């Protein structure tokens, strides 16, 4: 016999949390912005913060929880002196790119072919039924840290990349994009990337200002630990 539960959750879209409201050391609510108007919502029990890796840290620091000296720079009243924004870990990577021969059918051509479309419609199989990455992944162990531990140090993945993907998805500055892909932007390319899985380098998330609309300053501090670079090179 199953029991029905009444779900008492109200989802509010298009809101932006500005900071957490504290009474002493207790979180009692959240101040938010909606269409350039601020409002508050109060919690009788608890406030659950789940704003992602960088925005959770930003909200905490804006609300007075973070490194004391850093918050003092922006005259943010201190609630708790804690190392919020420290120990940031990200997966550094290096890559090589290759241009494909005109004789090779590109992934885009395969996805748009009548054969692939019919294959998906009638059997839910073929290129349209899987990720481009699915058959192009390898997790490898360079056996340099501890040969007795069988876990991968780096990941190799191969993906066909287009001009549109390189410009919109990689987040490269225009000058970097031009130097890397400019001469080949009209040619189909295959990207081979080596990405570390257990980075030892540690970065930070810091406030740019006390304005909640200013994006935080993110410093991944890639390859500060030399062994991270060794792992990436081992994959190449």
What pTM was estimated for this model as a whole?
A: 0.78
- pLDDT for the residue 207: 97
Query: Of all helices (H) and strands (E), which one includes residue 33?
Result: strand 26-34
Q: Residue 177 corresponds to which tokens in the numbers above?
A: 């994009």
Strands 189-196 vs 93-99: parallel, antiparallel or unpaired: antiparallel
Judge residue 84's burial from the number of C-beta atoms within 10 Å of its C-beta, 0-12 exposed, 13-18 middle, 19 or more buried.
Answer: buried
Q: First CA to last CA across the chain, in angstroms?
A: 57
Query: Of all helices (H) and strands (E), which one includes residue 52?
Result: helix 52-62
Confidence class for position 222, pLDDT limits 50, 70, 90: very high
Around Cβ 141, how many Cβ atoms within 10 Å?
17
The answer to whether residues 76 and 61 touch, using CB atoms and an 8 Å cutoff, is yes
Indicate if the pLDDT at residue 54 is higher than 80: yes
- All CATH 3.50.50.60 domain ranges of the chain, comma separated, are 16-89+202-219
pLDDT tens column, 122-165: 999 988 887 765 557 888 887 655 556 677 888 888 888 777 77
Class of domain 16-89+202-219: alpha beta
Give 127's DSSP letter: G
């Amino acid at each position: 016999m199953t029991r029905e539960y009444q779900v008492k959750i109200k989802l509010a879209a298009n809101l932006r949390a500005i900071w957490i409201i504290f009474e002493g050391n207790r979180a009692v609510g959240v101040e938010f912005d909606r269409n350039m108007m601020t409002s508050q919502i109060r919690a009788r029990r608890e406030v659950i913060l789940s704003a992602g890796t960088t925005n959770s840290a930003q909200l905490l620091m804006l609300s007075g929880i973070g490194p004391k000296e850093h918050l003092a720079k922006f005259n943010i009243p201190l609630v708790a002196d804690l190392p919020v924004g420290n120990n940031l870990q990200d997966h550094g990577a290096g890559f090589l790119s290759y241009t494909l021969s005109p004789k090779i059918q590109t992934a885009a051509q395969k996805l748009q072919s009548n054969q692939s479309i019919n294959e998906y419609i009638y059997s839910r199989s073929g290129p349209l039924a899987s990720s481009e990455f699915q058959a192009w992944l390898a997790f490898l162990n360079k056996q340099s840290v501890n040969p007795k531990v069988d876990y991968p140090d780096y990941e190799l993945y191969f993906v066909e990349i287009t001009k549109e993907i390189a410009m919109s998805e990689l987040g490269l500055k225009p000058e970097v994009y031009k130097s890397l892909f400019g001469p080949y932007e009209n040619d189909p390319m295959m990207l081979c990337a080596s990405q570390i899985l257990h980075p030892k380098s540690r970065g930070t998330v810091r406030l740019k200002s006390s304005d909640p609309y200013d994006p935080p300053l993110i410093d991944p501090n890639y390859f500060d630990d030399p062994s991270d670079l060794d792992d990436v090179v081992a994959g190449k």
